[in-house]
Amino acid sequence: MTCRAGRLAPFIALALVAVGCRRGERPSAATGRADSVTAVTPAFSSPASAALRERAPATFRARLETSKGAFVIEVQRDWAPLGADRFYNLVKSGYFADARFFRVIPGFMAQFGIHGDPHVAAAWRDATIADDPVRQHNSRGAVSFATAGPGTRTTQLFINYGDNRQLDGMGFAPFGRVVEGMDVVDRLYGAYGEGAPRGRGPDQGRIQVEGNAYLEREFPQLDYVRVASIVTP
């Protein structure tokens, strides 16, 4: 939320900003005054937290409500246990809210998972998990973690649009599959294409440093996750 001074005199405006915009304060509905409340740090801000290291159920579903509609990913933990656990904890903690689908290449895949707050993104940059053996194919609808080489999985995911079995031998281990709403995934905005420097799409380095402010300013048509949640199969 942005506080605006409007046409108030400078002194009064500064006083209102000082009272009404402090972190951890919100106006009382009855009095209009700011009541102090305890600031809460989101669980996903601390990758080392025990709350983010829970074992996932053997099978579970995650519903992602996006700017284009909702889709559901069904996860089978035995496909890729470490990836399933990481995804489960990220969803459960609320990490994916407002995450952009920043690399959408029609016919290939849709990638997301860099947090929109640069401080949170920085906290997760080195929070890697070990590789899982590849037990399933990267076929249409399969969901895998992106990597930058062996042992580098963190928070970025991709959903396969087509049969990408060539990725199997490169270590991309699917942990789940879109079972509802694949038509929604198909409609994610993909006209920006490949990311910089190979294409004219978003630069991942800048996303890490500047967050959603960069994407909103220079790539305003990107779709995004509104909320992600664990749902009962």
Pull the structure tokens for residue 159.
């959903």
pLDDT tens digits for 123-148? 999 999 999 999 999 999 999 999 99
pLDDT of residue 40: 55
Q: Tell the CATH topology of 46-231.
A: Cyclophilin (2.40.100)
Q: What pLDDT score does 214 carry?
A: 97
pLDDT in tens, 167-226: 999 999 999 999 999 999 999 999 999 988 888 999 999 999 999 999 999 999 999 999
Lowest mean pLDDT among 29-33, 119-123, 155-159: 29-33
Cα(40)–Cα(102) distance, integer angstroms:
28
Structure tokens at 25: 């304060």
End-to-end CA distance of the chain: 36
Residue 23 burial (10 A CB sphere; 0-12, 13-18, 19+) = exposed
Are 164 and 109 in contact by the 8 Å Cβ rule? The answer is yes
Paired residues of 153 in beta bridges = 129
Looking at the predicted structure, is the pLDDT value of residue 19 above 50?
A: no
Spatial contact of 125 and 154, defined as CB atoms under 8 Å apart = yes
How do 69-76 and 142-145 pair as beta strands? unpaired
Check whether 233 has a pLDDT greater than 70.
no
Indicate the pLDDT class of residue 49, thresholds 50, 70 and 90.
Answer: confident
The per-residue pLDDT for 29 is 37
* CA pair distance 35, 24, nearest whole angstrom: 9
In this structure, which amino acid lies at residue 176? G
Q: Spell out where 22-87 has E strands.
A: 25-27, 34-36, 59-66, 69-76
Q: State the burial class of residue 154 (Cβ atoms within 10 Å of its Cβ: 0-12, 13-18, 19+).
A: buried
Domain boundaries, the chain: 1-40, 46-231
Q: Is the pLDDT of residue 63 over 80?
A: yes
- Work out the number of other CB atoms within 10 angstroms of the CB of residue 212: 21
